[in-house]
Amino acid sequence: MSVFKACDIRGEYGRELDEALARRLGQAVGTRLSGKTVVVGGDVRLSTPSLKAALIEGLVATGCHVLDLGIVPTPALGFARVRLGAEGSVMVTASHNPAGHNGFKLMLGDRPPSDETLQAIAAEIEAGTFALGEGSIRPVEILPEYEASLVRRFAPGGSLRLVVDCGNGCYSGVAVRVLSRLGYAVEGLFCEPDGRFPNRSPNPALPDSLRALRGRVTASQADLGLAFDGDGDRVAFVDAHGVPAEPDRVAVLFARWLLREGPGEVIYDIKSSSVLPEAVEEAGGRAIMERSGHAFIKTTLLDRGALFGAEISGHYFFRELGGDDALFASCLLLHILQAEGRGLAELLADVPRHPITPDIRLPCPPEKADAILEDLRRAFSDYPVGQLDGTRIDFGDGWALARRSVTEALITLRFEAHSPARLDQIQALVRERVPALAAIWRS
């Protein structure tokens, strides 16, 4: 599989990507932004310093003026791009992927690149025809200003007890400093930067990743637990009972709060529970479905001027930021908890929950997966069928989604209904009408 994915560039360091690719990527991006200012940052992975140096070398060779932020969370890079007036940015990170992986997140202008643009950049790297110029490098320390902006936005006065799990990632130090300055009593967990990620996966969406945090929250009688991913643009929340909160139901709390000021649009990903769009409509907003992927949600948020966006992986997007920021989202949730005078579990008790499956991942070659998706569309032509991302069938009181993975030889299924019995019925109906899918589902 190519390292050029639908939203960014990722792969195993030393096998799928290396410094030579990083330099050529810098040249390709620099050819598009020649003579302009580009901010560059990196995560804590062991391979990041050499990859970042090679990337910068390529950018400078095309005439770009690079502002090197060093090791920063991805949201701080986004803050710096706007604050410093840069025309582009590159973050060296594999986000939530394992320690041996790395990659690059790009911004060209004020938008993430489309899938088509990423594929064009891949072709340009292969062709090797790049602009030539004399650029420059200047180190910039942005974290103090980024941290101060959050403290100003939310104002000190916090009174809750928190356990903050940085997962040895980019928010190590930063999150504890910001939340402490806001007045919260903060206990740090895995808050020493370490690109080996020795204590847990950099992906907080995995149940095992939250085991230590859940234990500390209950042992410390904390009010809330927070767990960040490797580069700091995703967050998972754990309530005072040590129970992880579903991201799409947390998104309901954000949407309700933000829609109090008036109507607006909320972007949500196709895998989210119907609870989220239903709650948005009830609060006077308009819910807009988008395909899964942080770049897709962010682009739609920006293009439509939407108020808020959410992805069930733990990305939360805000119009006032023009993007996602896990620490901003954490500060806003804490502000909501204090304003409401209730804990996270109490607030979520007012959010409905529909029975929903996790992703059901079935090994399947790409060509067979495409045929199955077409079979599914034909078999359910008597129902509303969406093709935003894969095939999604709307049953009125539930839905079925089948998608082909762009990174693995898999087909992924997900189902939701308004009752457990109906959830079983929908899954049985899909098996009955699409025998080719049923065959790999049983195996």
pLDDT at 7 > cutoff 90: no
Average pLDDT for 226-234: 96
Kindly compute the dihedral angle of the four CA atoms of residues 32, 36, 39, 42, in this order, to the nearest 10 degrees.
40
Number of H helices, E strands in the chain: 15, 20
Choose the CATH number for 247-348 among 3.30.450.40, 3.30.1520.10, 3.40.50.1000, 3.40.120.10. Answer: 3.40.120.10
User: pLDDT tens for residues 354-391?
Assistant: 999 999 999 999 889 999 999 999 999 999 999 999 99
Q: Looking at domain 360-442, what is its CATH homologous superfamily?
A: Alpha-D-phosphohexomutase, C-terminal domain (3.30.310.50)
| pLDDT for res 407 | 64
More confident residue, 227 or 159: 227
| pLDDT for res 93 | 96
User: pLDDT tens for residues 393-437?
Assistant: 999 999 999 998 766 788 999 999 999 999 999 999 999 999 999
What is the CB neighbour count within 10 angstroms for residue 233? 31
What is the CB neighbour count within 10 angstroms for residue 75? 25
| pLDDT for res 442 | 81
More confident residue, 157 or 333: 333
HSE of 304, CA atoms in CB hemisphere, 13 A: 22
| pLDDT for res 405 | 78
| pLDDT for res 182 | 97
Domain ranges of the chain: 9-141, 144-238, 247-348, 360-442
- What percentage of the chain exceeds 70 in pLDDT? 99
Average pLDDT for 181-195: 97
**Domain 9-141 indexed as CATH 3.40.1160.10:** no
Residues taking part in catalysis: 10, 95, 315
| pLDDT for res 1 | 47
Residue 71 has which token pair? 């090791």
Name the fold adopted by 144-238. Answer: Alpha-D-Glucose-1,6-Bisphosphate; Chain A, domain 3 (3.40.120)
pLDDT at 4 > cutoff 90: no
9-141 and 360-442: same fold? no
- For residues 237 and 225, give the distance between their C-alpha atoms in angstroms, rounded to a whole number: 6
pTM for the full model? 0.95
What is the rounded average pLDDT for all residues in the chain?
Answer: 95
User: pLDDT tens for residues 68-123?
Assistant: 999 999 999 999 999 999 999 999 999 999 999 999 999 998 889 988 999 999 99
- What percentage of the chain exceeds 90 in pLDDT? 91
- For residues 93 and 390, give the distance between their C-alpha atoms in angstroms, rounded to a whole number: 27
pLDDT at 312 > cutoff 60: yes
| pLDDT for res 8 | 84
